[in-house]
Amino acid sequence: PRMKGTGAEWNGNAEGIAAVNYLNQQFVNTIRGNGKGHNGERALMIPGYAASSSSALLSAIEIPQWNGKQAENIVVSVHSYTPYDFCLSDAQTKFYRILSNYTTQIDMIFYSLRSLFLKKGIPVVMGETGATNKDNPDPRAQWAYYMGMQSVSYGVPIVIWDNGHNGNSGGECHSWIARRGEELSPWPTVLEALFEGAASVEWGYLR
């Protein structure tokens, strides 16, 4: 949810942030107020403004209230294409998971998620992430390994964004699963690296 077509579309402003917090509260009121099925206890996922992973917009998320206290079973959803120049543009083609100047931005997002939500018992799902293809499978595999490792380390499940576009320029080439032919993935080493990184650490050990 964002103010599409405005100067505040991706970075937000007070009006946009307030609107998203209001909608999240109405969402919880609607589901929790319906006595059918498991609506009184089911997990409800909410985003911040534009589902942004910026520390300012994450900090602006207000966890909805229910019955006079913070609602339970709320999951925060966040999107992260970090580093931006590597993940959503053609500007950066290299990534090294052992060099902090490539990984610090990713670390800071997970630090923020831990301090703002995880330490308070509020789970988080990274509902979109990915790195655009620029015919650079080895750096993308390094990125995928690191993301898989951090996902498991912090206990934050990640959802890879796959738009089916298998080009190699423009920032929107996020094809991970093959939709034609027998290959599982057009970039199997990148996909494999994601799971290798996840398997390299213990689930949630940094929480």
DSSP string, 13-36: -HHHHHHHHHHHHHHHHHHHT--S
**pLDDT at position 100, please?**
97
Q: Structure pTM?
A: 0.95
Q: In 57-186, where do the E strands start and end?
A: 65-66, 69-70, 74-80, 124-129, 158-160
Contacting residues for 166 by C-beta, under 8 A, at least 6 apart: 133, 173, 175, 186
**pLDDT at position 205, please?**
87
Q: In 4-119, where do the E strands start and end?
A: 44-47, 65-66, 69-70, 74-80
Q: For residues 206 and 114, is the Cβ–Cβ distance under 8 A?
A: yes
**pLDDT at position 179, please?**
79
**pLDDT at position 35, please?**
87
Q: For residues 57 and 49, is the Cβ–Cβ distance under 8 A?
A: yes
pLDDT (tens, 9 = 90+) of the chain, 207 residues, equals: 999 999 999 999 999 999 999 999 999 999 999 989 999 999 999 999 999 999 999 999 999 999 999 999 999 999 999 999 999 999 999 999 999 999 999 999 999 999 999 999 999 999 999 999 999 999 999 999 999 999 999 999 999 999 999 899 999 999 998 877 767 788 899 999 999 999 999 999 887
Tell me how far the alpha carbon of residue 190 is from its chain's centroid: 18
